[in-house]
A = this chain, B = another copy of it.
Amino acid sequence: MNLLLLDAADFVADDRVLLRDRRLTHLQQVHRAEAGEQLRVGRVGGNMGSGQLLRLDAREAELQVSFDQPPPAKLPVTLLLALPRPKMLRRVLQTVAAMGVPRLVLLNSYRVEKSFWQTPFLEPAAIHEQLILGLEQARDTVLPEVIIEKRFKPFVEDRLPQLAAGTLGLVGHPGDFAHCPRAVTEPVTLAIGPEGGWIPYEVDKLAAAGLQPVQLGERILRVETAVSALLARLF
C-alpha cells in the first residue's frame, strides 16, 4: 500500500478521516505507523495529498488530510480481456488498475470455461476491492471502468466498432503477425485472448471490428504477464 486511499464514508469533516478497516490493520502491522507521522493519501476519484496521523489505537486511526496533487495520467487505452480464470482475474484487475488502464472489458471467448463466469470475484464489490489494491500499489485514485460482456458476438459486432473508432486496434495473438508496435502516440484498443488463445473465428471477428493481430514473439505468456508486457511496449 503506497497510498492510503480514502472514500466519502471515511470523512468525519472536510479535512478529517477515521479508519477502522484493513487500512487500520495495515497502518498498525505493516506500516507500523505512529501518531504524528505524515502519510500519502488520496481521495477515490479525486486528488492526492498528505495526511497527518493524529491518533492510532486498537479501534481506529484518525488523520488530518489535505489534497493538492492530481493523480497520474491514465494510459490512452481500452483493454479487452477474455475472462481469465478466477485466481488470475483478481491479479489482472490489480495490474490493470496499477498500470493506469482507464477502461477494461471482460469478454467471453470460446476458450473461456463457462464456470469462470460463476466466480464471486466478478461481483462488483470484489472487482472494486482488487481495483483499489491496484490503485494503492501504483498511487492512483481513479477507478477504471470495468464492463462485463458475457456474449462475444453481439459485443464485437455491435459495440466494439464504436469503441475502437479512431483508435489503433490491436489483438495480441501468437503467430506470424506484425510485431506489436512500440511507443505509439494515438489511443489504442487492445484485445488479449484467453489461455489457449482466441480461435480463428474470433480473430476474424475482432479484425472486422478494426483490431489487427500483432504478436509479442514466440513465447506464450500468461495473461497477467502479457498485459503488462504489451502495455509497457505500447506506451
Decide yes or no whether A207 CB sits under 8 A from chain B.
Answer: no
User: What is the distance, in angstroms, from A179's C-beta to the closest C-beta of chain B?
Assistant: 10
Q: Does A72 belong to the interface (CB within 8 Å)?
A: yes
Residues of B within 8 A of A99 (CB): 219, 221, 225, 229
A27 near B: Cβ within 8 Å?
Answer: no
Does chain B have a CB within 8 A of A47?
no
A183 to B217, CA, bound (A): 14
When the two chains form their complex, are residues A222 and B72 in contact, meaning their CB atoms are under 8 A apart? no
Q: Please tell me which one of the listed residues B72, B138, B230 contacts residue A221 in the complex, with CB atoms under 8 A apart.
A: B138
CB distance from A89 to the nearest CB of B (A): 15
From residue A115, how far is it (CB to closest CB) to chain B in Å?
A: 13
Give the residue name and chain of the B residue nearest to A231 (CB): B229
- Contact among B140, B182, B216 with A219 in the assembled complex (CB-CB below 8 Å): B140
Specify which chain B residues have a CB less than 8 angstroms from the CB of A222 in the assembled complex.
94-95, 98, 137
Number of copies: 2
Knowing A225-B228, A229-B229, A232-B230 touch, does A218 contact B139 (C-beta < 8 A)? yes
Are B98 and A219 in touch, CB under 8 angstroms?
yes
Residues of B within 8 A of A140 (CB): 219
Asked if A126 CB lies within 8 Å of chain B CBs, one says: no
Q: CA separation between A232 and B220, bound complex, in Å?
A: 14
**Nearest chain-B residue to A3 (Cβ)?**
B220
Docked pose: A182 CA to B2 CA in angstroms: 27
Q: A225-B228, A230-B232 are in contact. List 4 more A-B contacts (CB 8 A).
A: A95-B225, A98-B222, A99-B221, A139-B218
